[in-house]
């Protein structure tokens, strides 16, 4: 098992990582049927940095849940990294998340009782890496996000920005095909937020595919491609790259 942190190869613009085809997602809220996603079709290429934008209730979060294989679409097909995941069962989806998806959340979502080291190792634990290998990998990732000296601290002993760095390191641990970030700067002050965005930008230039949900345009500006959503539909896409 190699502990390669980033895929150094330049992105091939013609290789799709995410293909959505007529995705709908409906929820039953009491007697009312809510259509959170209404026929979404789009393709994200390898090495893209997408920002999904839109007002609250536009289906951003549902979109991210479906992209992150936390939720199954009601209809439509979703091909992630060459595999159709739209009809997978819970176990299969868990494995897809484990191997191909890295999550970064607004509220960091680190496990409070585990040290920084253990938090970063978490995906590797479920991937059955050996203790030795995962230690080495966690150390490398912590060094990369600038927290090499904080490995034995607990999340509560870190600042917000540091916590988000740990979360980024954890998202990278399994060398995912796509990194999904849900308002990654939402709980951070502007300077810290900028640092995190710089880190994500850096990862993108190293070839990582990133999909980020945000409603702040200055954060979205870091992303090369924008996808606007409204009422569960894609209202516009922009390419600034």
Partner 1 sequence: MRYSKAVRNILLGMDNLRLHKLRSLLTMMGIVFGVGSVIAMLSVGEGASREALDQIKKLGSNIIIITSVKPSDDNANDMRRTRMSIYGLLYHDAKRLRETFDTVIRTVPVKLIRKDARVNVRHLEVRLVGTTPDWFSLVRRPLVAGRVLSEQDMKKRKAVAVLTEHGARKLLAVESSLGKPVRIAGDYFEVVGIIRNENIQSGSLSTPDQDADAYVPINVARERFGDMFVKRTSGSYVRELVELHQIIAEVDASENVEKTADGIAEMLKRSHMHDDYRISVPLALLREVERTKRTFNIVLGSIACISLLVGGIGIMNIMLASVTERTKEIGIRRAIGARQKQIVGQFLIETIVLSTAGGLIGICLGLLIPWLITFFAGMPTVVTAWSIVLSLVISVGVGIVFGIYPAFRAAQMDPIIALRHE
Residues that bind partner 1 (CB under 8 A): 65, 68, 70-71, 90-91, 94-99, 101, 103, 105, 109-113, 122-123, 126-128, 130-132, 170, 174
Please, what is the minimum distance in Å from the beta carbon of residue 101 to partner 1? Answer: 8
- ∠ CA 19-174-151, nearest 5°, is 140
**Choice between 78 and 222, CB closer to partner 1:** 78
* Cβ density class 132-165: b for 16+ within 10 Å, e for less: eebbebbbbbbebbebeebbeebbeebebbbbbb
> What's the rounded Cα separation, in Å, for the pair 37 and 73?
9
**Choice between 45 and 98, CB closer to partner 1:** 98
**Choice between 113 and 205, CB closer to partner 1:** 113
> What's the rounded Cα separation, in Å, for the pair 162 and 81?
30
Please, what is the minimum distance in Å from the beta carbon of residue 113 to partner 1? Answer: 5
**Choice between 27 and 240, CB closer to partner 1:** 27
**Choice between 75 and 130, CB closer to partner 1:** 130
> What's the rounded Cα separation, in Å, for the pair 97 and 103?
9
> What's the rounded Cα separation, in Å, for the pair 57 and 50?
19
- ∠ CA 48-17-23, nearest 5°, is 105
> What's the rounded Cα separation, in Å, for the pair 52 and 234?
9
**Choice between 9 and 131, CB closer to partner 1:** 131
> What's the rounded Cα separation, in Å, for the pair 25 and 10?
34
CB 142 within 8 A of CB 169: yes
């Amino acid at each position: 098992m190699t502990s390669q942190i980033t895929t150094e190869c330049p992105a091939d613009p013609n290789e799709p990582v995410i293909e959505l085809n007529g995705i709908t997602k409906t929820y039953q809220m009491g007697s009312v049927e809510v259509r959170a996603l209404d026929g979404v079709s789009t393709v994200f290429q390898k090495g893209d940095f997408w920002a999904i934008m839109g007002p609250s209730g536009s289906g951003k979060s549902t979109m991210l849940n479906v992209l992150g294989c936390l939720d199954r679409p009601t209809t439509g097909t979703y091909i992630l990294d060459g595999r159709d995941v739209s009809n997978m069962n819970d176990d299969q989806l868990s494995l897809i998340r484990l191997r191909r998806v890295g999550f970064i959340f607004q509220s960091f979502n680190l496990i409070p009782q585990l040290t920084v080291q253990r938090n970063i190792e978490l995906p590797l634990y479920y991937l059955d890496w050996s203790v030795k290998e995962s230690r080495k990998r966690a150390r490398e990732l912590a060094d990369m996000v600038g927290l090499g000296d904080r490995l034995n601290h607990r999340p509560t002993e870190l600042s917000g920005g540091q916590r988000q760095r740990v979360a980024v390191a954890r998202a990278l641990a399994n060398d995912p095909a796509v990194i999904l970030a849900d308002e990654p700067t939402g709980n951070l002050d502007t300077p810290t937020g900028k640092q995190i965005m710089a880190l994500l930008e850096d990862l993108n230039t190293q070839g990582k595919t990133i999909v980020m949900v945000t409603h702040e345009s200055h954060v979205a500006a870091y992303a090369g491609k924008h996808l606007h959503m409204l009422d569960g539909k894609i209202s516009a896409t922009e390419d600034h790259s």
